[in-house]
Amino acid sequence: MAELGRWLIGVGAVLVVVGVLFVGLGRVHFPLGKLPGDFVYRGKNTTVYFPLATCVLLSLVLTLVMWAVGRWRR
């Protein structure tokens, strides 16, 4: 049970850090979600939003973070 508790505390800490980053990026007007590769189609009655560039950027950042965590744990 102690292992699960440590894991939950770690996940909570990561969520807090991500939340602080999003608040900070929002205050400096970082265009996350409005990058040049994010596609928006506005029809007469529908809107389709596909954030391709944002997904690629977040994937790269999370890959680097996970790689660093993996190196740190060795």
**pLDDT band at 12; cut points 50, 70, 90:** very high
pLDDT at residue 30 in the model: 74
- Alpha carbons 43 and 39: distance in angstroms, whole number: 13
**What is the residue type of 28?**
V
Q: Are 55 and 39 in contact (CB under 8 A)?
A: no
pTM of the shown model: 0.61
pLDDT above 90 (res 52): yes
Residues with Cβ within 8 Å of residue 53, at least 6 apart in sequence: 35, 36, 37, 38
Look up residue 44 and give its DSSP letter.
Answer: S
pLDDT above 90 (res 63): yes
Q: Are 23 and 12 in contact (CB under 8 A)?
A: no
